[in-house]
Amino acid sequence: MANREERLAATFVELADTLVGDFDLVELLDLLAVRCTELLGVSAAALLLAPPGTALRPIAASDSGYALADVLDVARHDGPAWQSHRDVTGIGPVDLDEARSRWPDFAEAAAQAGYREMCAVPMRLREDVVGALLLLNIHSGKLSAGDARVAQALADAATIGILHERLMRQQVDLVTQLHAALQSRVSIEQAKGILAARSNTTVEHAFEVMRGHARHHRRRLSEIAHHVVDTRGALPAPKDH
């Protein structure tokens, strides 16, 4: 069996691989939760994300049971994950007694579920903070400061993957928008030439005619241009209201 270092290295590769065509964010976070239980020996792990302008929401967990679900419902607004996300800092490891004085609601839910130790790290990259990773143990004193550092490194790797995928999606959207803009410009230039030739006027005047027509009838210039090209010189009739 591979040792912990080898499995940890393999996990970092898995978390960073967001370039595959079928990349799925929830699958990535489920993977992180499961790997945390395997590599850190925790009883449960969960990811809570906060899209811009919203509160934390549980997205993935190593355990789908009702007990953990109840804990995560409280973790949205109380507890180490909530504080870690709010303060952008690692929290714990903390035992249940300390948790009772810091987060009474969360501690009560954790105790009901049988958890006695907890730790949380933020999912952040510079100014971008997307959520928190929560670790839970049924026994106290199992998590070390070193484990918390490994958890932070794993959370960082997942965050980089999330933000990279978001950037790639935004770039694809931008490329699509630029391509559409270039296509529209080509149509406009073609339409100017066609309309100028048909009306025996200059391309500048033909452009002003198309633009005036678009403004008067509240239609996009690119739409007018496409019609002129398709009809070889005719301006579109006004739309019926």
Structural domain ending residue among the three candidates 168, 187, 222: 168
CATH number at residue 181: 1.10.10.10
Residues 95 and 197 reside in one and the same domain:
no
Domain extent for 16? 4-168
Residues 43 and 92 reside in one and the same domain:
yes
Kindly state the helix (H) or strand (E) to which residue 194 belongs, with its residue range.
helix 145-199
Residues 114 and 158 reside in one and the same domain:
yes
**The predicted structure's pLDDT at residue 232:** 85
**The predicted structure's pLDDT at residue 67:** 86
Is residue 240, in this structure, part of any structural domain at all? Answer: no
Question: Residue 93, preceding bond cis, omega within 30 degrees?
Answer: yes
What's the 3-state SS for 3-52? Answer: CHHHHHHHHHHHHHCCCCCCCCHHHHHHHHHHHHHHHHCCCEEEEEECCC
Q: What is the pLDDT along the chain (241 residues), one digit of tens a residue?
A: 458 777 777 776 676 665 555 556 777 788 888 888 888 889 999 999 887 677 888 888 888 678 888 999 999 999 999 999 999 999 989 999 999 999 999 999 999 999 999 999 998 887 778 889 999 999 988 888 888 999 998 888 888 877 776 666 665 555 665 567 667 878 888 998 999 998 898 988 888 888 888 888 888 888 888 888 888 878 877 665 4
CATH number at residue 72: 3.30.450.40
Is residue 125, in this structure, part of any structural domain at all? Answer: yes
Q: Apex CA 216: angle with CA 210 and CA 217, to 5°?
A: 90
Residues 103 and 38 reside in one and the same domain:
yes
**The predicted structure's pLDDT at residue 166:** 67
pLDDT, tens digit (0-9, with 9 covering 90-100), for 173-228? 556 655 676 678 788 889 989 999 988 989 888 888 888 888 888 888 888 888 88
Query: What would you report as the CA-atom Rg of the chain, rounded to the nearest whole angstrom?
Result: 28
Q: Per the structure, how many domains does the chain have?
A: 2
Residues 150 and 101 reside in one and the same domain:
yes
Residues 121 and 202 reside in one and the same domain:
no
Residues 91 and 199 reside in one and the same domain:
no
Residues 55 and 112 reside in one and the same domain:
yes
**The predicted structure's pLDDT at residue 241:** 43
Residues 48 and 125 reside in one and the same domain:
yes
Residues 205 and 113 reside in one and the same domain:
no
Structural domain ending residue among the three candidates 146, 168, 190: 168
Residues 137 and 193 reside in one and the same domain:
no
Per DSSP, 220 falls in state: -
Is residue 239, in this structure, part of any structural domain at all? Answer: no
Torsion of CA 131, 84, 115, 146, to 10 degrees: 100
Residues 98 and 26 reside in one and the same domain:
yes
What's the predicted TM-score (pTM) here? 0.67
